[in-house]
Structure 1
Amino acid sequence: MAFRFIPDDVNLDFIGKRKLAFVFSILLVAASIGLFATRGLNLGIDFLGGTMIEVKTEDGKGVSDFRDALGSLGLGDVQIQEFGAANDLLIRIQRQPGDDVAQQDALNRAQAAIDGMVAEYRRTEVVGPTVGNELQEAAIYAICFAIGAILIYIWFRFEWQFGVCAVIALLHDVLATIGLFSLLQLEFNLATVAAVLTIAGYSINDTVVVFDRVRESIRKYKTMPLPQLLNQAINQTLSRTLMTSLTTLIALVALFIFGGEVISGFSIALIWGIVVGTYSSILVAVPLLLSLQPHRGEEAGASAEVSA
């Protein structure tokens, strides 16, 4: 007998809980915007510019030894953290005043100070302020373009009401993710932008699956009350939605646990995005259709429901 994660005859009243869901979502988005406005994002070197050095240390050398060696160089904010194994360190040095020559000089001074404690240099990156600003602009354009393209796609595939609801749910997911990064002050870098775009794609895929079922039901049951029709569509796709999210989360949790510090922010963003994206597809995008009242065709088509 096939395993059923959700019973075939499930009939949960999601539409009846829409007001509670809307209040929660409004508070979540408002909190995210408030956190972004007051705390901002912990932008990585990709955006701010600066120097990043990944090293394998000699036995017996730890964070305190490197902090002592670099602290006297006058390089400003220097962050040092363990990076996976105890003898792997990631060193971040803030952008120095001046041009690319000043950044390279800071890197040379830092390497000279820690050479005796380093067994291997694994990665060295220097990002200038001009490149950092360009990457910030490119990241903003990428997110805006992706959301705009999704709006156009949904608009052409469905009616305009579906497009509006999908983009509202999408913005909900993106803002909630940015709010999480602002709250936890996780590093926001190019990998995080990639995660946000991935979340957008995943969220809209979930939403489109439910919207497809809504559209089919609208064509078939032209006189069924819209709240009942929307609930039916959500429940009929609930097993697929939750199973897809669960299997994706299993992979992402493994990625977070075993993937190391390099992709930890990326993994956290995706885990949170899958959770909030699944929620918004069920309790934000579809219930919003009830307010916008999509076109249902002529009442004469009621015979389709009777014959069904």
Structure 2
Amino acid sequence: MAKTQLTETEQQGPVSVEDLNHGRRVFDFLKIGAPAFIISMILVVASIIIVWQKGFNLGLDFTGGTSVEITLSQPVELEQIRSTMSNAGYHDPIVQYYGSSRDIIIRLPPVVAKDANDASQVMRESNQLGTELSNLMHRDIDPDAVVKRVEFVGPSVGAELAQDGVLAIIAALVCILIYIWFRFEWRFGTGAVIGLAHDVVITVGYLSLFQRELDLTIIAALLSIIGYSLNDTIVVFDRIRENFTKIRRASPYDVINISLTQTLSRTLMTSGTTLAVVICLYIWGGSMLKGFSETLGIGIILGTVSSIYVAAYTALKLGSRRENFMPPKVEAEGADQDPIMR
């Protein structure tokens, strides 16, 4: 049985870590803390290199293009629609269900107008494209098909959306750093932000490696990952802070292991139930939610690991200890005077 390290001021005999946890078993998470942290940082660096080399498969939200929403009178296989459009000369169409199997959305690359700077001309050609698609659907797919909406996103708007998405993620990380700094202290704040950046960067590297289409739903998933991972990290840090003030005979190493063990069941239940919902979304949520649910699922797994082996381990290595959380001592009035003057 492992023995905890004693502080210099408290020499009351050896005490096991399990005794400090009311006789319950304590998992030594930090035993593999160093190799786990190194592997995590290697994955972060590899993800950055992958993004640098391969870039992203940007969706029409960022590249611009035409989106046409059509309601059919009866369900039709998407492959049939893709084949019909390909035969009609439409290249690389993105055809997806939304809402039901009778509602489809068709996304096409940007319309190349004679005068790309003439917005009205581009809009006219986009509307003409919508009319052509409507006629194609009526002729070859469903004579009762109804075009509900034709929407055009210009390349400049797409670039602005991409920039806003990146700024939203950076702003979220900065705000979280400030929040954690004030709620706990700078060591925990630094560990939390490194953990969150770890989750986002590796997830982005995965999207780049497998060339998953990057659209606004993926940005929403990345922001959701930040919020989910932060929630898990705060629960762990709150228990660490509480145990630092309650368990005074343990070293910081033991206090963090005890805290991680105490929050393990909550972490597994929360992650498990959330993953179950995400898997349901991936299977039955339709093609429009597949990218969102896949990204969120990867982020949940990474966030669960990072709260232990990135955030908590970083806080330990930065020197977190009981003294950082104890209230400052207040001297009694006249304590600095000679006894005879009191």
Residues of 2 paired with 1:184 and 1:81: CA distance?
20
TM-score (structure 2 length as normaliser): 0.77
Question: AA paired with 1:112?
Answer: E
Aligned amino acid, residue 62 of structure 1: I
Deviation at 1:199, TM superposition (A): 0.7
Q: Which moved more, 1:96-105 or 1:175-184?
A: 96-105
**Contiguous gaps of at least 5 residues in structure 2:** 1-22, 328-342
Q: CA deviation at 1:124?
A: 3.2
Q: Quick check: 1:67–1:80 contact (8 Å CA) kept in 2?
A: no
Distance (whole Å) between structure 2 residues aligned to residue 82 and residue 289 of structure 1? 45
User: Could you tell me the percent identity over the aligned residues?
Assistant: 41
Does residue 199 of structure 1 match 2:213? no
Secondary structure in 2 matching 1:124: strand
> In structure 1, what is the Cα distance between the partners aligned to 2:317 and 2:102?
57
Determine if contact 2:252/2:321 at 8 Å carries over to the other structure. no
1:38 equivalent in alignment to 2:53: yes
Counterpart of 1:112 (choices 132, 135, 139) is 132
User: Bigger CA drift: 215-224 or 33-42?
Assistant: 215-224
* CA distance 1:215–1:91, shift in 2 (3 Å): same
Task: State how far apart, in whole Å, the 1-side matches of 2:276 and 2:314 are.
Answer: 30
**What is the CA-CA distance between 1:43 and the residue it aligns to?**
1.2
1:116-127 equivalent positions in 2, closer than 5 A: 116-118=139-141, 119-127=145-153
> CA contact under 8 A between 2:66 and 2:151: conserved in structure 1?
yes
Q: Which amino acid is the alignment partner of residue 33 of structure 2?
A: R
RMSD: 2.5
Distance 1:68 1:263, change over 3 A: same
Q: For the residues of structure 1 that align with 2:127 and 2:68, how far apart are their CA atoms?
A: 9
Confirm or deny: 8 A CA contact 2:28 2:257 kept in the other structure. yes
* Distance in 1 separating the partners of 2:97 and 2:288: 8
Determine whether 1:169 maps to 2:189. Answer: no
Runs of 4+ deviating beyond 6 Å: 57-60, 84-88
Distance 1:225 1:106 in 2: 67
Aligned to 2:323: 297
Aligned to 1:3: none
What CA deviation, in whole Å up to 9, does each residue of 1:48-79 have, x standing for no partner? 111123445686943222111134xxxxx532
5 Å-filtered alignment, 1:86-101, equals: 90-97=105-112, 98-99=116-117, 100=119, 101=121
Alignment equivalent of 1:78, drawn from 81, 86, 92: 92
Question: Aligned equivalents of 2:125 and 2:186: distance in 1?
Answer: 56
Matched, 1:62 2:89: no
Give the SS at the match of 1:62.
helix
Render the CA deviation track for 1:215-235: whole Å, top value 9, x for unaligned: 111112334122111111100
In structure 2, distance between residues paired with 1:89 and 1:43: 21
Is the 8 Å Cα contact of residues 206 and 241 (structure 1) preserved in structure 2?
Answer: yes
The alpha carbon displacement at 1:126 in A equals: 1.0
Amino acid at match of 1:187: E
Corresponding residue to 2:254 among 212, 228, 236: 228
Between Structure 1 and Structure 2, the one with more helix by share is 1
Residue of structure 1 equivalent to 2:241? 215
Aligned to 2:88, what secondary structure does the other structure show? helix
1:11 and 2:50 correspond: no
Give the letter for the 1:30 counterpart.
V
Rg (Cα) greater in structure = 2
Match of 1:305 in 2: none
* 1:293 partner SS: coil
Aligned equivalent of 1:261, options 272, 287, 306: 287
Aligned to 1:239: 265
Which structure 1 segments of 5+ residues have no match? Answer: 1-7, 72-76, 302-308
Q: What is the rounded CA distance, in whole Å, between the counterparts of 2:71 and 2:42 in structure 1?
A: 44
In terms of mean alpha carbon deviation, does 54-63 or 138-147 score higher? 54-63
Q: Distance in 2 between matches of 1:123 and 1:263?
A: 20
Match of 1:102 in 2: 122
Per the TM alignment, residue 122 of structure 1 is displaced from its structure 2 partner at its CA by: 4.9
How far 1:11 moved relative to its partner?
A: 2.1
Structure 1 69/88 Cα, relative in aligned 2: closer, same or farther at 3 Å?
A: farther
Sort the Cα spacing of 1:220 and 1:267 in 2 relative to 1 into closer, same or farther, 3 A.
same
Amino acid paired to 1:267: S
Moved more, 11-20 or 237-246: 11-20
Q: Is the 8 A contact 1:35 1:179 kept in 2?
A: yes
Between 239-248 and 93-102, the greater mean CA deviation after superposition: 93-102
> Residues 292 and 243 of structure 1: is their aligned pair in 2 closer, same or farther, counting only changes over 3 Å?
same
Match of 2:185 in 1: 159
Alignment-derived partner of residue 74 in structure 1: none
